[in-house]
Amino acid sequence: MFRSKILPAAVAAVIAFGAAGAANAASGEKENSGELAAVLGAKTSVTQAIATAEQQTSGRAMKIGLEKEKGAYIYEIKTVSKDKVAQVFIDPASGQVVRTDDEGLIATVFDRDDQDEFAKLATSATTLSAAVATAEQHIGGKAIEASFGNEDGTLSFEVEVAKDNAVHKVMIDSASGKVLKVTAAEEGEHN
């Protein structure tokens, strides 16, 4: 008797969790497709947004992506310089700076990761803009997001480029500016 009551309850719980997981996955796919549509339809390119952010902060762009604020997507660009880390938010439609969040000197002093990344980025022969341009040209598509980092011991830029309803990850060597590898984006990323 005990087993007859537990089994239906367990099945109901599994179904409920499965439905919640499916709803979350559908929500994530909707979010990713919204980001993709926002970038592909933007009047301001990723490289233009990077240039604006670098000019605004006198820093070097390390990362660009999209954030959803108040129902609209905006570019979020992280820039670094020797004395500050900043986040610049730019409207993809107008190219105008929405706001700048300056983390300042104190945050940089305490954040050793940012200092290390800045030192590596500062010595890089390739900029984030140049990496984006190379990736877009290589794939023949439009960049969605890009970042600087250490991939398997190699300092590189990872650029996600959309073309023909597919997203490709392009790794660009930070020293030479050459394409290292191209892979398909993982399931759920900007699909």
> Of 8-12, 103-107, 131-135, which gets the smallest average pLDDT?
8-12
Q: In this structure, is the dihedral angle defined by the CA atoms of residues 99, 54, 52 and 169, taken in order, positive or negative?
A: negative
pLDDT of residue 60: 92
Q: Which residue has the higher pLDDT, 139 or 101?
A: 139
pLDDT of residue 62: 93
Residue 120's pLDDT band (cuts 50, 70, 90): confident
pLDDT of residue 2: 46
pLDDT of residue 156: 93
Which one, of 100, 99, 96, 98, lies nearest residue 43 by Cα? 96
Q: Which residue has the higher pLDDT, 21 or 134?
A: 134
Beta carbons within 10 angstroms of residue 180's beta carbon: 16
Q: Is the pLDDT of residue 20 over 50?
A: no
**Neighbour-count burial for 3-24, b at 16+ CB within 10 Å, e otherwise:** eeeeeeeeeeeeeeeeeeeeee
Which one, of 150, 163, 158, lies nearest residue 182 by Cα? 158
Q: Which element (helix H / strand E) includes 143?
A: strand 142-151
Determine what percent of the chain falls in helix, strand and coil, rounding each to the nearest 5. 40, 35, 25
The whole-model pTM stands at 0.75
Residue 161's pLDDT band (cuts 50, 70, 90): very high
Q: Which residue has the higher pLDDT, 165 or 12?
A: 165
Instruction: Please report, for the chain, the start and end positions of each structural domain, with discontinuous segments joined by +.
Output: 40-184
Domain 40-184 falls under CATH 3.10.450.40: yes
Inter-residue contact 121 to 130 (CB < 8 Å) = no
Residue 65's pLDDT band (cuts 50, 70, 90): very high
Residue 114's pLDDT band (cuts 50, 70, 90): low
Task: For the chain, give the percent of residues with pLDDT over 70.
Answer: 73
Residue 148's pLDDT band (cuts 50, 70, 90): very high
Q: Which residue has the higher pLDDT, 93 or 150?
A: 93
Q: Which residue has the higher pLDDT, 24 or 80?
A: 80
